[in-house]
Each structure stands twice: as C-alpha cells, then as structure tokens.
C-alpha cells in the first residue's frame, strides 16, 4: 500500500521551498500566512476567555444558589428507588 504523503529526501529538509506544506501554500504570500496564524491565535484566545467567563458565571451561580442546588439534589436522590432513603 502506497503512502499518500510525498517522500522527502534528507537533503531537501534544508530547502524550505521543497517542503510539502510550502508547496501547498505556494500561491499564498508570506504576509497572508502570518495574518492567518495571528487570526487563529486571536480566535484561540477569545475561545479561552469565553470558556473562563462561562466557568466563572457557573461558579457564581453555584455559590449563590448552593442551598437550592443542595435541596434539589436531595429531592432527586429521594426519588431514586435504589437508594432507599
């Protein structure tokens, strides 16, 4: 079974233009690639910030309503027949 990845000679590793990824993006300028990487980093940071904000809000909800959550869990646990409470 043949590999779909192109074979790279060791001597070609020193030549950036012979890399398969560079050949794939040879029609894209270096500046556009830098912009793309920067945009991906910004998206990653925004996703992380949104995750932290949601986690923080859930934390506040749990702290504020912990007695109601505990009561809800007790009611749910009492309605599970296998627990015999």
Q: Average of pLDDT values for 50-78?
A: 85
- Please write the tens of the pLDDT for every residue from 3-19: 555 565 555 555 555 55
Q: How far apart are the first and last CA of the chain?
A: 62
Q: Residues 78, 85: contact at Cβ < 8 Å? A: yes
Give the three-state DSSP class for 40. helix
- Please give the Cα distance from 80 to 68 (Å, whole number): 19
pLDDT of residue 3: 55
| pTM, two decimal places | 0.44
For 24, the token pair is: 């794939």
């Amino acid at each position: 079974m043949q590999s779909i990845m192109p074979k790279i000679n060791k001597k070609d590793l020193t030549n950036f233009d012979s890399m398969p990824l560079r050949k794939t993006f040879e029609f894209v300028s270096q500046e556009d690639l830098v912009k793309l990487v920067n945009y991906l980093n910004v998206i990653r940071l925004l996703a992380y910030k949104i995750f932290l904000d949601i986690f923080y809000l859930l934390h506040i909800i749990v702290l504020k309503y912990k007695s109601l959550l505990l009561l809800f869990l007790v009611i749910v646990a009492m309605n599970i027949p296998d627990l015999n409470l």
